[in-house]
Amino acid sequence: MKQFIYMDNAATTRVHPEVLQAMLPYFGEEYGNPSSLYSFANGAKNAIEEARAKIANAIGAQANEIYFTACGTESDNWAVKGCAYANAARGKHIITTAIEHHAILHTMKTLEKEGFEVTYLPVDEYGRIRVEDFQQAIRPDTILVSIMYANNEIGVIEPIAEIGKICREKKIYFHTDAVQAVGHLRIDVKELNVDMLSASAHKFYGPKGVGFLYIRRGVRIQNFMDGGAQERGRRAGTENVAEIVGMGKAIELAYTDFEEKISYISRLRDRLIDGILNTIPFTRLNGPRENRLCNNVNVSFQFIEGESILLMLDLRGIAASSGSACATGSLDPSHVLLGIGLPHEIAHGSIRLSLGEFSTQEEVDAVIAALQEIVPKLRDMSPLYEGVERR
Amino acid sequence: MYSEKVMDHFEHPRNVGELENANGVGTVGNPKCGDIMKMYLDIEDGIIKDVRFKTFGCGAAVATSSMATELIKGLTVEQALKVTNKAVMEALDGLPPAKVHCSVLAEEAIHAAIADYYMRQGMEFESDKLCGGCCKECDCEEEHSHEE
């Protein structure tokens, strides 16, 4: 069989076999509706409450502060819009960053159309916001701050503990999009002074189609869905029982032998970064060396374009993604890569390789070898590379 | 996402490289948009004897350049100027909507190389397809006549 190497774990992860096993009964014989009164439904009801407790335990929250959603995007929309609307009487100013996921950025654009004012904090060359910039952006009418825990494209970890502390002092609500962080970083919402936190199960070996939003008790926020009494009436709708069970199992597994797994994946990451930077010229790492997600590698190859690299990798059975715009239909490259100050042509030549606990050293070495072959091949074809070797 | 023909031309581009004795060379596109095509023509007695290209860009950009060189090789200059972006797309069994601009760039590359040839011959040449930007999205304000 042709080789297949999955290097896109930041896009989604493979469902862990134990997670799959945990979910199966709830697609089958345990079909009761958790809201039903009779004892047959108790299995489903208990299972989702057990999952809620596991999630709360993993992030240092109380079980009644965890709300199940359909995805990270839903969690982000609920947190930002729900909090903005519920507190609009106090002020209309919101602070976020220029490198958030579109689930946040496009939500902010909607709020701007509705009369809210949004400050987009710039980032430094590694993608980190400056706490001073944040402090200066705070206004008397600032009601909400939303800053991602870790960036999905370049893996930079933001100083959210410092931001959380300031927000708590100033009594401003603080939301963090932790979709890339949950399962990959230790999280304690109390220590971080986070009021709301978004996560998605499929980023930590759980199923697609389920996520959660942590809402600290006492946060003023609108309901997301009106209807029945599910999720304390705030997010009505019959629960996605099997996947909620899967998410609970996945988060429990993610934080089992956590340090060993993270150090294993970090070693693979560093081997991949060094292997690329040390053997292929005109290459740069995007995002920091330290303060970086254990699974993220993002590199720019000068003189060539990202989609071409991805297609060449795909022909060799390697799945990766790019910061190039080409696949998305817009001609502008990623807002994150432009945000860290990369010129357009360098941003266009960037790819993201994201590792996971199922990745191996052999796979990392195979990716390095493939790039050593692909990059010169594309450069030979590139008018931008003409004469560079002779310089 | 791409047709088999596009992938074939991406994986095995025809006529890739430079042409030392080229007498018409044109470059279109710009790095900001993520696409640059450079086309080299060797024209003798008004006929395109040989052609090469170099491209910085996505899979569709490479494939449309490659197909464009195949389509114009052996044609007279006048015939080559009639090769439209639509013809390039059809020869590739179509492109995704977001990639149509790559075929436009290929058409423009042909025109730019021929314009250079005419200039070197001291001949007059006018074309409305010499933008060199990336259409719609670029700052270029001129009107273009391309078939979507």
Residue-wise pLDDT for A231-289, tens only, equals: 999 999 999 999 999 999 999 999 999 999 999 999 999 999 999 999 999 999 999 99
Instruction: Tell me whether residues B55 and A303 touch, CB distance under 8 A.
Output: no
- pLDDT, residue B145, reads 46
Sign of CA dihedral A332, A335, A337, A340: positive
- pLDDT, residue B139, reads 45
- pLDDT, residue A326, reads 52
- The vertex-A201 CA angle with A200 and A203, nearest 5°, equals 80
Give the residue carrying structure tokens 């997600």: A293
Per-residue pLDDT tens digits for A274-294: 999 999 999 999 999 999 999
Mean pLDDT of A97-123: 98
Evaluate whether A299 touches A284 at the Cβ level (below 8 Å).
Answer: yes
A306, A325, A384: residue with CB nearest B36: A384
Q: Is the pLDDT of residue B77 over 90?
A: yes
Chain A 311-340, CB below 8 Å of chain B: which residues? 311, 315, 324-329, 331, 333
ipTM of the complex: 0.88
Q: Is the pLDDT of residue B51 over 50?
A: yes
Interface of B with A (CB under 8 A): 1, 7, 10-11, 13, 16-18, 27, 31-38, 54-62, 97-99, 101, 134, 137
Residue B140 belongs to a domain: no
Identify from B58, B69, B99, B104 which residue to disrupt to test chain A contact, counting A C-beta atoms within 10 A and taking the largest count: B58
Residue B59 belongs to a domain: yes
CATH 3.40.640.10 domain residues, chain A: 17-254
Mean pLDDT of B64-88: 97
Residue B139 belongs to a domain: no
Q: Can you give the CATH number for the domain in which B69 is found?
A: 3.90.1010.10
The single-letter code of the amino acid at A121 is L
Q: Is the pLDDT of residue B110 over 80?
A: yes
Q: Is the pLDDT of residue A2 over 80?
A: no
CA distance A58 to A199: 12
> Which two tokens mark A276?
């690329």
* Most confidently predicted of A154-158, A322-326, A342-346: A154-158
Residue B105 belongs to a domain: yes
pLDDT top residue among A106 and B131 = A106
Fold that domain A17-254 belongs to in CATH = Aspartate Aminotransferase; domain 2 (3.40.640)
Per-residue pLDDT tens digits for A15-46: 999 999 999 999 999 999 999 999 999 999 99
The single-letter code of the amino acid at A389 is E
Instruction: Give the structural domain span for B26.
Output: 4-120
Per-residue pLDDT tens digits for A48-74: 999 999 999 999 999 999 999 999 999
Residues of chain B contacting residue A334, judged by C-beta atoms under 8 Å apart: none
> Which two tokens mark A359?
């990745």
Q: Is the pLDDT of residue A230 over 70?
A: yes
Residue B36 belongs to a domain: yes
Q: Is the pLDDT of residue A355 over 80?
A: yes
Whether B58 is catalytic:
no
Fold that domain A257-380 belongs to in CATH = Aspartate Aminotransferase, domain 1 (3.90.1150)
Computed over every residue of chain A, the mean pLDDT equals 96
- Number of compact structural domains in chain B: 1
Residue B115 belongs to a domain: yes
pTM of the model: 0.93
Whether B134 is catalytic:
no
- The vertex-A12 CA angle with A103 and A31, nearest 5°, equals 95
Instruction: Tell me whether residues A384 and B31 touch, CB distance under 8 A.
Output: yes
CATH 3.90.1150.10 domain residues, chain A: 257-380
Least confident of A20-24, A82-86, B97-101: B97-101
- pLDDT, residue A128, reads 98
